[in-house]
Structure 1
Amino acid sequence: MKRFNKLLAASLLALLLLVLGACGNNDEAAEPAENSDNQTEEATETKEKVETKDLILATTTSTQDTGLLDELIIPMFEEQNPSLNVKTIAVGTGQALEMGTKGEADVLLVHAPVSEEELVKSGDAVNRQLVMHNDFIIVGPKDDSAGVKGLPIIEAFDKIIAKHAVFVSRGDDSGTHKKELAIWKSMSVEPSNHSSYLQSGQGMGATLQIANEKNGYTLTDRGTWLAQEKNLTNLQIVVEGDEDLKNIYHVMQVNPEKHDKVNNEGAEKFVEFMINEETQKAIGEFGKDKYAQALFFPDAK
């Protein structure tokens, strides 16, 4: 019996040692597995941390006020180009073009064709491509105090001045301002000589708000009007459809041979993105769900 108990004790001891040994081996085996998991996680994190580079886009306020950039263009572009981070500077087209001449932007999206062509001729911009258009309209007070509703653009401008009705100009050298000045020039009129002519020095959205507050008239692009209309309770469209009121947008790169600090690769990608078929289709659909009409019409061939 004593011998049996000794054998049983020895067997139990051996079994215990075997179990302990197995546990030790499992712990040792588990440690590399844990390290392996950590390495996998680190590799995944490294892969996700894509190094990004800024792309400076100088553009007109109308592309931002309409929501086209923030709601459509930039999210689409950055999704397709995760290494690029678009920094938008929305100013008047004149200021945007000036940034191009100084090499302070990488790519331009603007709507002043004559001034754009001058930038290309000077060698400050390259790869200029037609993107889209909408049109300019005149909006004014609901009572149409100057009586211009339905008139051709020249007759409407002439009557607004003759009736001393308030006209609010952007006065900021933007594409819209350049268009307005061209109309006054064709009439041989210097509008700043008239006390009812006001200059906001601000973007289209702010200018529309001032016209709304003062029951005045202003020239605006249709896209910004549609995007802001619900807040402009005192205004209505009074002049539209004139062939002379087409509003054309181009995209172009700032010339890297003249301005060596620009992000040329990113700018080229943005130009190609703006004119590709998928983007053009999206531009043509933008706004239809909210306004029952498109805010811009794609033009790239």
Structure 2
Amino acid sequence: MKNNTKMKALLATVFAALFALFMVACSGGQASSGSASASASSASASAASASAASASASAASESASTSSASASAASASASSAATPASADVVRISTTTSVNDSGLLPYLQPYFEAATGYKWEVSSAGTGAAIQAAKDGNADALLVHSKSQEEEFISEGYATERIPFMYNYFVIVGPADDPAGIKSCATASEAFAKIAQAKQPFVSRADKSGTHTKELGLWEAAGIDPAGQEWYFETGQGMGATLTQAAERQGYTLSDKATFLSNDAKNSLTILLGESEDMKNTYSLLEVSSSKYPDNNIEGAKAFVQWMQSEEADKLIAEYGTSEYGEPLFFLM
């Protein structure tokens, strides 16, 4: 478009010059120098006018380009905003341990039949799952880190945490147990023996509830494992961490449900677990309407209420029994 404008301006200039010559020719060459000067001035004015038109078109083009850039920036900004809530879909942010166990896909059709809502599940470590809710991308949470949940409430993102089910953390490792932790009375004692024996330990290192629990056990043992040659950090979920522990024939901390449902159980074994200091509690939280009034508030309430219903209790109590001989989760 800019090239077309320049062409039009050039043609206008040529036309003005030809017109001036034509006028001189018509006067039989008798035009005075004043007339010639006037015609030249007219041609010059026409050229100036064309030049101004070209400049104006160029400015308009630059303005349009700027507007386009602004629109692109606005579009990019919008794409990073919170995912909009839907009236019939409940957005649930949960942990990888719950999701990897298969519990939510198992419960989903029963929830939808009972409430009329559908649910949309995203999973990550508890830290990332809670951050998703802070970013406006979740209506409800199902997580397992009391300290992070309480911080979430203190910051005004929820008003209540509802502990409703639990399982146990377990320390898993090679069947021959080279660090000799099987006889330990507590998890922190077991961690101390792993460090003393310099046996491989694989950490999630992802700010999840499991990672938070692991760090607490190292602290209780009086050990800082960071940077030790036997300490490996995956920065990934429980499934990937179990896989790496199996490959290294090392130890790791896992929730029992994920371990039992993971192929790593074929090369690792539970060496310590089900003590009171290894209890792993899961809580429900509704994201506050005061923070995100456009969230699916009613859908979140329906989810939290149904998860505590008799129907859900029965389903959760049975989940895992046919395959593992015991439930993967226990009700509070």
Give the whole-Å Cα distance in 1 for the aligned partners of 2:234 and 2:98.
19
Q: Does structure 1 residue 56 correspond to structure 2 residue 94? A: no
Q: For 1:17-166, what aligned pairs fall within 5 Å after superposition?
A: 53-71=88-106, 73-82=107-116, 84-151=117-184, 152-166=186-200
Give the whole-Å Cα distance in 1 for the aligned partners of 2:233 and 2:247.
14
Give the whole-Å Cα distance in 2 for the aligned partners of 1:68 and 1:232.
19
TM-fit CA distance, 1:99: 1.7
The one-letter code matched in structure 1 to 2:112 is: E
TM-fit CA distance, 1:234: 1.8
Give the whole-Å Cα distance in 2 for the aligned partners of 1:125 and 1:285.
30
TM-score (norm 2): 0.71
The one-letter code matched in structure 2 to 1:157 is: F
Identity of aligned residues (%): 42
SS in 1 for 2:266: coil
Conserved? CA contact 1:57–1:108, under 8 Å: yes
Give the whole-Å Cα distance in 2 for the aligned partners of 1:112 and 1:189.
22
SS in 1 for 2:226: helix
CA offsets, 1:156-186, max 9 Å, x none? 1011111111101111111000000111122
Equivalent of residue 218 in structure 2, options 176, 180, 184: 184
TM-fit CA distance, 1:129: 1.4
Conserved? CA contact 2:93–2:129, under 8 Å: yes
Give the whole-Å Cα distance in 1 for the aligned partners of 2:183 and 2:142.
31
Give the whole-Å Cα distance in 2 for the aligned partners of 1:241 and 1:265.
37
Give the whole-Å Cα distance in 2 for the aligned partners of 1:270 and 1:262.
13
Give the whole-Å Cα distance in 2 for the aligned partners of 1:241 and 1:134.
8
Conserved? CA contact 1:281–1:298, under 8 Å: no
Conserved? CA contact 1:150–1:240, under 8 Å: no
TM-score (norm 1): 0.78
Conserved? CA contact 1:133–1:298, under 8 Å: yes
Conserved? CA contact 1:52–1:85, under 8 Å: no
CA offsets, 1:189-238, max 9 Å, x none? 2111311111111111111111111101000011111111x543221111
TM-fit CA distance, 1:293: 0.3
CA offsets, 1:74-127, max 9 Å, x none? 221112233x22111110001111122222211000000121111112210134
Give the whole-Å Cα distance in 2 for the aligned partners of 1:207 and 1:129.
28
Conserved? CA contact 1:284–1:294, under 8 Å: yes
TM-fit CA distance, 1:150: 2.6
RMSD of aligned alpha carbons: 1.5
Conserved? CA contact 2:87–2:299, under 8 Å: no
Instruction: Work out which of the two has the higher radius of gyration on C-alpha atoms and give 1 or 2.
Output: 2
CA offsets, 1:115-150, max 9 Å, x none? 111111221013421210000010001221111113
Conserved? CA contact 1:125–1:255, under 8 Å: yes
Which structure has the higher relative contact order (CA within 8 Å, separation 6+)? 1
Give the whole-Å Cα distance in 1 for the aligned partners of 2:328 and 2:140.
22
The one-letter code matched in structure 2 to 1:178 is: T
The one-letter code matched in structure 2 to 1:134 is: N
Give the whole-Å Cα distance in 2 for the aligned partners of 1:159 and 1:247.
23
- Tell me the equivalent position of 1:290: 323
SS in 2 for 1:134: strand
TM-fit CA distance, 1:52: 6.6
